[in-house]
A and B are shown apart, each in its own frame.
Chain A
Amino acid sequence: MSTIYILWLRQVKRYLRSRSRIIGSLAQPLLFLVALGFGFGPIFQKAGEGNYIDFLVPGVIAMSILFTSMFTGIEIIWDRQFGFLKETLVAPVSRLHIMIGRTLGGATVAIIQGIIIFLLSFFVGFRPYSLPLLPLAFIFMFLIAIIFTALGTAIASKLEDMQGFQLIMNFIIMPTFFLSGALFPLKEIPKILEIIVKFNPLAYGVDSIRGTLVNSSYFGLQTDVSVLIFLAIVLLSLGSYLFNKIQI
């Protein structure tokens, strides 16, 4: 138990101490929000879809959570040779506890980022439609964070070199973000896109945040909840399994 706690604590301390990383990683989501939000806003409104900023904020929150979570997971590649992770792999503690601590820590950091974006979006005029639903929104954000931290862990457990990192960035993280309905409504997209989106975990995450923050869910919150919880369990298991098999 204390193992889980100190691994969680470590992730959080590392995050809180890296001011430049915090600010840097907020820049991109905010850029998307401001540039696309104000840029496409008028046309979106004209097409009868309402306020684009309101539509976009959940997408941008999900973006920051996705990126932060995956990075925490992927950090393992470096960490296992040159960092504290190696020390933990040799210690008389269960690997499962290490993985859980790390994942919870990474998810905590990701959700803090998500909440910061949420608060900053108030400056461009965003307001959540229902205060009582906010805690639910945060729970959904946490689920997304868990899913992607575990996914990052699973992938990184199989990689030995930082080269793979570039591939992951371009072929996994970016497509996941762009094809999740974070930036565009799913209402009348081409069939091919629709199929891809339906298989994208982030789509349900974005949808759930959109549902709780602006009352506009495409899949329905019930579907979102079931899918996200199911995925969280699957990916935590997969992540633990692969993490357990790491041999330095």
Chain B
Amino acid sequence: MIPDRIIEQGTLSTDGSRASVDVRIPWYRALPASCIAGARLTIDGVAAEADTLRWEMNGEVRTFAEMVDDTEQWWFPLDSAVLSGEVPVTAGADCEVRVDLTLYIPYIVIGANEVLHIEEHDTKTMKAVAA
């Protein structure tokens, strides 16, 4: 729907071991935390290990597992979330950033006990800044 906007240009930051990037929802309407099923963060071809990934939204930093039951916090279409993970990046270097997102679309029922899920990705090149 709006995958070209997932990664916000110029938001890659690093402390040397962890990197983070601002991300926008690729859908036209807000979705609750429970419907943000997972993400991958890959920089110059190196993916952050899944257990190091964290999602910051509405001021809270959590794992995806911690968001599964949360139907109170929403990712609003105008807001940036922050995806971070352990992946080495050199500050000042040009990096190819790729973000993969899996979202559930809670109002599109496609089976007896199943709603649509979408997998979207975006790739952008930007300089990393020191956190």
Q: Do these two chains really belong together in a complex? A: no
- Name B residues whose Cβ lies closer than 8 Å to a Cβ of A: none
- Name A residues whose Cβ lies closer than 8 Å to a Cβ of B: none
